Amino acid sequence: MQSNMRQPVTRDQLRGPIEVPQIRRRVDFGHIYSRDEWMAMELGYLPGSMDQKWFMFVENETLFVLRTWSAWLFAEAYFERQAEERILTHFLVPGTIEQSDEELKSMLLSLIERWLLGKDPG
């Protein structure tokens, strides 16, 4: 019996080791995702071409967002389960990023909506 279920993306599909910045900054959040959204997010995102800049996977309630070809870790987003929902409680970004917390929240939400949930973040 053939399954149409897509397998989750894993760190093993990266081209090399994850490049974790030495200094990181915490951004507190509180965004809520439904059960269905979380199930879609758990599948991650594997880019199909060099034009797609992001690689995303979930491990242990944590979403890792990396640049595709360098494996540079842009964000490590932490989720907590609450009933059927998941709450994005906070995320870590490189400490050298100059954008404000609000700009980083907006960017992360856009990446999640576009690449993991298939929504137009516009």
What is the predicted pLDDT for the residue at 120? 78
**26-52: per-residue pLDDT in tens?**
999 999 999 999 999 999 999 887 778
pLDDT at site 122: 58
- Looking at the chain, the number of H-run helices and the number of E-run strands are 2, 5
pLDDT band per the 50, 70, 90 thresholds, residue 4: low
Q: Quote the pTM value.
A: 0.91
Domain-wise residue ranges, the chain: 21-116
CA distances 42 to 92, 94, 96, 99, 118, Å, are 19, 23, 28, 27, 13
Residues 54-80 have pLDDT tens digits of 999 999 999 999 998 888 999 999 999
Q: Give the Cα separation of 38 and 92 in Å (integer).
A: 19
**Three-class secondary structure of residue 42 per DSSP:** helix
Distance (Å, rounded) from C-alpha 122 to C-alpha 113? 10
Asked if the model's pLDDT at residue 2 lies above 50, the reply is no
Beta-sheet strand order (sheet of 24-33): 24-33, 85-94, 73-82, 62-67, 54-59
pLDDT band at 1 (very low <50, low <70, confident <90, very high): very low
